[in-house]
Amino acid sequence: MKKIILLSGIILCSVVATAGEVLLRFGAISDNHLDRTRPATFQRTKQAFELFKKHNVDFFVDCGDVADTYQPDMFQLWRRLYSEVFSDAGTRPDFLMIPAGHDRIGTTWEQGYGDFVKLTGSGTVNPVKCIKGFHFVSIAQKEKPDILKQNLANAATGSPAGTPIFVITHYPPMNTTPGTSSASGGDKNYRAILNNYPQAVVISGHTHTRLMDERAIWQGEFTAVNAGTLAYTDNAGIANATERCYSYDASIWEVYKNKIVIRRFNVADGREMYPDSPWEIPLPFQKKNAPYSRENRMKNFPVPEFNQETAVTFHPVRHSWDRWGTLNFPSPENSRSLNRYRLVLEKCNSDGQYDHHGIIEFVRNKAAGKMECLSFSAGYLEPANYRFTLTPVNYFGRSGTPAHGKFKVRKVPWKEIKNDYVPVVFSGRKEGQKLTPDSEGFFSAASDFRLVLPHEIIERSIQDKKKLIISIGIECIGAGNPARLRIVNGSGRIVTLDSICFRESAQRQQYTAVFRPSNLQNYSLLIRNGDPGKYRFSNIRFYLY
C-alpha cells in the first residue's frame, strides 16, 4: 500500500508493506544508440521492451544516448516501439528517460534535447517522478548540477528515512563503476552531491560497461549501478581489452521493504544472467555493511583457479591476417568471477636463458565456456622459443592459481619497413594545432590529440596492396592510463587495435594496430585522453603484411 501527499511542491511518498512483498518492479536500459543505418539497433530496443512486458514491470528507465546521433526519426522510432510492444494504453508502464550527448551530435544541445523530449514523449529534460511510493529523480548530460541537488533535496524531504531514492543519470558519478575515474567517464559534481545521500541508488550509462561485469555495481557513500548498453561494449582501443562486440544488456529491479534485488538479462534470448545469484542491496543502506563495497568485494568475491593438471596448448593460425596464434585450455574453476587472463611471456636468448618479454592481458567480455581460446594479434612476437605463465584474475584484481607452458615461433609473415619517423602530433580529433615536445620528448595534451602517420608508408601500403601493422610504445604521465586509441579516417578499417597489450612498465604500453589504408588521405592514431597529461612515444615500428 502506498500513501502520496503533495505539499508545497514536494511529493511525500510512503509505503506500507510486508518484507516479502514486491513493492515495485522496474526495468533499466541505457545507450540504445538507435541508428537508421543499423536496423539491428531497433531490434535490441524492441527486445528490451518485450522483456519488460514479459516480467510485468510497473515502470522502466532509459539512461540516455537513445540515438547514435541527432536523428529525430530515431526518437520517433523509440516511441513507436514502446507503443507497439505495450499496445494496451491502459496497462502500459510509465517510463523515465533522459537525453545525452549522442542524442544531439550534429545539432545544438537545445534543439537536440527539445526534439528528444517532444518526439519520445519523455515530458521534460530532467523528469522527476514518484512511482508506487518511490522517488525517481534525474539529470541529463550537460545540465546544471544544481538541478540534481535541488531534486534530491526535495525527494529526501518527501521520503521516509531509509527509503531508497533512485537517481537516473547518463554520466555516472566519478570513481564508482568502471570507466569513471576521469572527467570523460565520470562526473565529479554528481559525486560530491550524492555523497550526502546514503539512500541514493544511482542508475547510469555512458561507459558501456557490461552487466556481467561484477564491478558494474558499487557501494561507498551511496550505491551506483551501471545499466549496461543495448549497443556495443566500448572496449576496443583500450589497453588490455578485447575487441568491440554487440551488447544486449537490460536489468529488472525488484524493490522490497528490506532489500532491492537486481536481475541481469540478455534481451536477445531473454535469459537471466546468473539467476542463482542476483545482486541484492540490503535496506536501509549502511555503509559499513554494504556488500558491494570495494573492501567487501576484495575480501569475499571468489577467485578463478586453474588446477594442477591444466594443460595450455599453442596453435599457429596460418590463414588469418589479424590473428597469428592461439592458446587453448579448459576454463578455470570459479570462471564466473573471471575478469581477465594475465600472460607473462619470457623469450629464450642466444645463451639459452629466458628473459622477460612482456605481459599480455586478455580482458573477457563474455562468459567463459568449457574451453577458452585466446588469440594473438599480428605484430607481437619474433621467431624464438617462449615460455609463459597464464594467471586468471577476478574483477577485483585477485589472482588465482596459474598454468604454465612453452611454445616456439618459427617464422612471422610480416616484413618491417625501415623508417626514420619522428612523431608528428596535433591537438583535437580532426582539426587542431601542431604540438611541440618538451626537452624530454613529452607532448602535453589537455584532451584528445592525434599522432599523424607518415604519408610515404601509407602510400607504400597502398601500392604493395598490403595491410599495415603499426607497433608503438606510449608512455603516459598524469593522465588516465592506459590511453584509448582509434584510427582516424573513414576509409581505414581497423581490425585489431590493442586487443592485447604489452605492459613494459607501470606507465608504458606497447600498442599494435592493423588496418588496410584505401587512399592517400591523412591517417592518424587518435589518443583519447579526457584528462590533462603528458605523453611520449617510442619504439615506433611499421610492418607490411
- Please give the residue that has the higher pLDDT: either 540 or 282: 282
- Alpha carbon dihedral 329, 330, 332, 338, in 10-degree steps, equals 70
- Please give the residue that has the higher pLDDT: either 368 or 340: 340
Quickly list H helices, 228-370: 294-300
What pLDDT does residue 437 have?
92
Q: What is the side-by-side order of every strand in the sheet holding 425-427?
A: 425-427, 449-452, 524-528, 484-488
The domain 416-544 having CATH identifier 2.60.40: the answer here is no
What pLDDT does residue 322 have?
54
Q: Residue 72 in 3-state DSSP?
A: helix
pLDDT at 382 over 90: no
The residues near 88 (Cβ < 8 Å, ≥ 6 apart) are none
Going through 21-58 in order, the beta strands assigned E by DSSP cover 24-29
The answer to whether 458 and 519 are in contact (CB under 8 A) is no
Q: What is the side-by-side order of every strand in the sheet holding 325-330?
A: 313-316, 325-330, 371-376
Task: Please write the tens of the pLDDT for every residue from 484-525.
Answer: 556 555 333 333 333 344 555 556 666 777 777 777 777 777
C-alpha cell at 138: 534525474
The domain 313-413 having CATH identifier 2.60.40.10: the answer here is yes
What pLDDT does residue 479 have?
53
* Separation CA 290–CA 302 (nearest Å): 17
The residues facing 4 across adjacent strands are 13
Per-residue pLDDT band for 92 (boundaries 50, 70, 90) equals very high
The residues near 214 (Cβ < 8 Å, ≥ 6 apart) are 297, 301, 337, 339, 395, 396
> For the residues 115-123, what does the mean pLDDT come to?
98
- Residue intervals in the chain for CATH 2.60.120: 416-544
> For the residues 66-85, what does the mean pLDDT come to?
98
Give the class (CATH, top level) of 22-300: alpha beta
The answer to whether 537 and 484 are in contact (CB under 8 A) is no
Task: Please write the tens of the pLDDT for every residue from 11-70.
Answer: 556 555 566 899 999 999 999 999 999 999 999 999 999 999 999 999 999 999 999 999
Least-confidence region, from 127-141, 152-166, 208-222, 355-369: 355-369
> For the residues 354-366, what does the mean pLDDT come to?
80
Q: Residue 128 in 3-state DSSP?
A: coil
**What is the pTM (predicted TM-score) of this model?**
0.82
- Please give the residue that has the higher pLDDT: either 297 or 488: 297
Q: Smallest Cα–Cα separation from 241: which of 265, 218, 207?
A: 207
- Please give the residue that has the higher pLDDT: either 245 or 178: 178
The answer to whether 200 and 223 are in contact (CB under 8 A) is yes
Least-confidence region, from 228-237, 258-267, 436-445: 228-237
Distinct helix (H) and strand (E) counts, the chain = 7, 33
Task: Please write the tens of the pLDDT for every residue from 411-431.
Answer: 777 788 888 888 888 887 777
> For the residues 327-348, what does the mean pLDDT come to?
91
Specify the pairing of strand 494-497 against strand 502-503.
Answer: unpaired
- Residue intervals in the chain for CATH 3.60.21.10: 22-300
* Separation CA 425–CA 209 (nearest Å): 30
What pLDDT does residue 415 have?
81
What pLDDT does residue 531 have?
64
